[in-house]
A and B are shown apart, each in its own frame.
Chain A
Amino acid sequence: MSSVFLVPITVLTFSANEFKNLIFLFKNSILTKSFLNDFTALDHPYLINRFELRYQLLSYLMSNRFSLQRRVHSRAYSVDNLFESANWLEREVWDMFGVVFVKNTKEIRRILTDYGFQGFPLRKDFPVTGFFQVRYSEKKKRLIYFPLKVAELSLRSARNVDNV
């Protein structure tokens, strides 16, 4: 596909122990001088280390991206003391996946979902329909959440069940 440019992106996978030093190195080394450009997670519900965290560092000097990956069970060290952009990205990963970030210097609370929302929407065991629905309660004069009533919770279509 000639229209596709190849973004210089280097993928590196690491274990928990070396990770903290590594991300520090990437940030401060003169060669890389990277900044946290993106951070996301993947959920593999059948593995013990369930969440794959992907830190995408961007080096303006090298015009290269480094995708640092690691797997965690449910908690990870926060990197918000290293990067200013980390706080909201970690808040999003906490909100969407429920990964806890420890030793954080800034507040980590939910960011995209509603106030008082429960559950972690991007986990694979979270149905697309969610567990609750919302309506306006005339009695309480506010919006209320109440359990979802559908016959089938998992609305993944039949098309998605069969394999290619």
Chain B
Amino acid sequence: MDFSVKNFTLNFGPQHPAAHGVLRLVLKLSGEEILRADPHIGLLHRGTEKLMEQKTHVQALPYLDRLDYVSMMAYEHTYSLAIESLIKTNRLYNRMVLPTRAKVIRTLFLELTRLLNHLMAVTTHALDVGALTPFLWGFEERERLMEFYERVSGARMHAAYIRPGGVAMDIPEDFLNDVEAFNNSFCYRLNEMEEMLTNNRIWRQRLVDVGVIPLDVAKDFGCSGPMLRASGLVWDMRKICPYEMYKYYDWMVPVGSVGDCFDRFLIRIEEMRQSVSIINQTIRDLRIIYGPVKVRSGKLKQPYRSTLKFSMESLIHHFRFFSKGVTPISENRPFAVTEAPKGEFSVELEVQDNTHSFYRARLRAPGFFHIQALDVMSRNHLIADVVTIIGSQDLVFGEIDR
């Protein structure tokens, strides 16, 4: 008896729970083997770049929170760096210099954000592959992290806390003790999670040697973050072009060798451990370093309310800040690139002459490049492996579709 097998096309998503949001994946299959994967993105497209062109520099900040809605502060931080580069640096004119305490707080929250993101990435990845327990444990920790967000900014997720010229306000009393308590217990939570996953036979069978992306291919696709490091390149913007306090702290960059899903998983776990170490160092510093958390100049930030009644300059800055936003006073082309938890996120702005809105705001989302590589990574794999690969790419459609 002879029979022929036809290739057929399968729609994966956009409502599939393993598609991490709204990914429509058109799979061309031969049996269960994937011949071609064609991701259709854009189902969450909100036109952030166009909307940012309508806003002042200050008003555009909250859009950045909503890009990658699991690592909010990392994105608003990059935007803040880009805006700050509009202001001319001058060592003598120290009203523009960001206070050290602000930098340490930023570093603290960037690393808390990395935990927030990697917890989501690793545990939902495990959930997709079939392990429910790490997800439940991980989200308990995420809830604690979001409480930290809430305590400094009032919002659990879309904080708008890191702003051009510093952070919105100083951290509350007792905050450091709580972060420290969380941090110390978090190591054990990580150990528990690793007990469940790392040497788990099923987990290994599903991840090892699945979705291998060699280094030259990863570079060619513009992959960054854990995707690139898993393939074996030491490339972390926190080391290459250190911003904030990273160059003063002791930490290491984990690097993989194979470039498969398991490497990416291990790298995320190790990055979380490194983050815990960085957070400890920021807590140590924050206990010593006191002072303002915003630049002194009113060009970048809202002046203190108390000064409004006494200082004409403050009144002017107050008016300018809320009516016009930040006044660019340098010829720099505002550009900033940072190591967001998902990879390199860069903001490139084109400032219009004589106005206070952008001519063009370009946001380079790391996920956009990763999902482009999905076709190559999932070729000749089975359908179940596509779920693994999507999970290990750590996709969030807020940033991919923008």
Contacts and interface: CB of A to CB of B under 8 A. Distances in A.
A114 B364 CA distance: 21
B339 to A, nearest CB: 12
Interface string A126-164: 101000000000000000000000000000110110011
A25 interface: no
Query: Secondary structure at chain A's binding surface: helix, strand, loop or mixed?
Result: loop
A110 B41 CA distance: 10
A38 B362 contact: yes
B222 A37 contact: yes
Size bracket of the A interface: 35 or more
Interface residues of B, number: 58
B87 interface: yes
Contact of A3 (B81, B333, B337, B355): B81
Contacts of A56: 348
Nearest to B360: A42
A5 B241 contact: yes
A17 to B, nearest CB: 25
A111 B401 CA distance: 9
A4 interface: yes
Interface in B153-207: none
B337 A85 contact: no
B45 to A, nearest CB: 5
Nearest to A161: B355
Given A35-B220, A160-B355, A3 B84 contact: yes
A47 to B, nearest CB: 13
B346 interface: yes
A9 interface: yes
B89 interface: yes
A121 B324 CA distance: 25
A1 B84 contact: yes
A40 B359 CA distance: 13
A31 interface: no
Interface of B: 41-42, 45, 47, 49-51, 54, 81, 84-85, 87, 89, 96-98, 102-103, 106, 217, 219-222, 233, 235, 240-244, 295, 323-324, 327, 333, 335-337, 344, 346, 348, 350, 354-357, 359-360, 362, 364, 368-369, 372-373, 376, 401-402
The 4 A-B residue pairs with the shortest CB-CB distance in the complex, in nearest-first order: A85-B222, A112-B42, A3-B98, A84-B220
